[in-house]
Amino acid sequence: MSTTFSSYNARTGEVLGTLTASTAADIDAAANAAAAAFPLWQASSGAQRATLLRALAAGLEAGREALVALADQETALGPVRLNGELDRTAFQLRRFADIAERGVPFEYVDDPAVAGAPPAGHPAMQRWSVPLGPVAMYAASNFPFAFSVLGGDTASALAAGCPVVIKGHPGHPQLTRQTWELIQQVLAAQKLPAGLVGLVQGASNEVGVQLVRHPAMAAAAFTGSTRGGAALAAEAAARPRPIPFFGELGSINPVIALPAELQAKGAELATTLAGSIALGCGQFCTNPGVVVLLDVDAEARGINDAFVQQLAQALAGQNPHAMLTQGMRSNFEKGIAHWGEAGASFVMHEVAAAGQPPRPVLAQVGAEAFIAKAALREEVFGPSSLVVRAASVAQALQVLQAVGGSLTVTVWGAQTESSDAQALVRGAMAIAGRVLFAGVPTGVAVTAAQQHGGPWPSSTRPESTSVGDAALARFLRPVSLQDAPAWLVARQGRPL
């Protein structure tokens, strides 16, 4: 592994600083420190966990000015977006504090004994939840606060009673370090072990691989590319003691627009969709990468043709900022080129001037080609979308099946029940973790009913979510206590 790596200005490519990469010994020390902190933290009360999480939220807000300025240098996401993201991150921390304080991590099922022979009779049983243990958390590049050091994975793991070792993202390493130092100050003030939240860093993939292989790690949480997540998931499964790997990976988030809906408000929807495609320079896991239009007859084709032009016009007015890294910019351009090589035609493909951010790209292709060619179904991370023209509802459903797993599917025009609406909603629910019927998929609310995860390749665990209250459940496992002594029953799920 390289001993150093650099922080870069995302707009200019200028080197902002050089950092020391974590060595194998550093990774071992961080993992072992987390393991040493686990007995104390798994036995902590909901109030103790809430106190820590609220202090971390307050510390984040207190350091806002310096943290946002540094994040803007390393990501080019802009202070308005970054301040909003910091607010969301503090909100998440406080929400999981409330969840812990309410006792949700300690909820249990009491199943009193029933006299008689089985199967009707059974012994007294209680079903408890216990934390898994130290969690390896892999930070994302595109959300330097909300899905990074103090993001939802860290918040939910701590609320569940699990220590965390963070693998910082090399796209914002100085911000990562500064945020972690803030955490250490809070831990020290509360007289908690420093190893409760550890950090390893480096540009080499080997840092992340060594962390997930470490025997002290009991679970891993990841947000990033399908390729990177699949590699780490394989490592987690290949360990002598395999561990659960909760990966949120790639997604192309189809938007299905029915002709009647486009006829009624096509221009409005085109403006909304264009903003979603270009938001954050298209660097969202919920970016609407595919738009499915139904050419069911000549009238519908005319409506759809008009919408494509409206969308192109709306996109032309968007001005994306610089991408997070030069590598992402290169991959975006390669992905767009693959569309052309696979037979897509470009509705708009303006080449940006040298040194300038990318321009939005819109292409379209027939459903048969989309279904047949895998290159058209790969996520293109950036301000772009591919229009897929389907001849019928049945073919639109084939398009969804070809997409496979997706974080989201949006269906515009299903407000009135019909056999077609039922079929499209059923098809959307079959592949997505979240189905929208209004608006656009960018923007993931932190709520009780949220589901941010779907079938492969959108995530490795379709039954879990990385956003929302239910994220807590990833880091807990059930234990049944049978004929437990009275003193243990009396604890009612509270940790020992």
Catalytic residue, chosen from 235, 281, 285, 379, is 285
Enclosing H/E stretch for 219: strand 219-223
3-state secondary structure of 64: helix
Q: Is 221 left (phi over 0), alpha (psi -120 to 50) or beta?
A: beta
Could you give the CA distance from residue 466 to residue 148 in angstroms, rounded to a whole number? 12
The distance from CA 8 to its chain's CA centroid, rounded to whole angstroms, is 24
Could you give the CA distance from residue 359 to residue 77 in angstroms, rounded to a whole number? 16
Pairing status of strand 164-167 against strand 135-138? parallel
CA angle 475, 186, 47 (to 5 degrees): 55
Could you give the CA distance from residue 144 to residue 173 in angstroms, rounded to a whole number? 10
Neighbours of 462 (CB within 10 A): 16
| Token code pair at residue 301 | 């084709």
Pairing status of strand 290-294 against strand 384-390? parallel
For the chain, how long is the longest CA-to-CA vector? 81
H-helix segments, 239-320: 259-278, 298-316
Is 285 labeled as catalytic in the residue annotation?
yes
Pairing status of strand 4-8 against strand 15-20? antiparallel
Three-state SS for 406-439 is: EEEEEEECCCCCCHHHHHHHHHHHHHEEEEECCC
Catalytic residue, chosen from 248, 261, 281, 379, is 248
Give me the phi and psi of 347, to 5 degrees please. -80, -40
Is 248 labeled as catalytic in the residue annotation?
yes
Could you give the CA distance from residue 156 to residue 473 in angstroms, rounded to a whole number? 8
Enclosing H/E stretch for 59: helix 46-62
Cis previous bond, 457, omega within 30 = yes
Q: Is 290 left (phi over 0), alpha (psi -120 to 50) or beta?
A: beta
Instruction: Report, as residue numbers or ranges, the catalytic residues.
Output: 248, 285
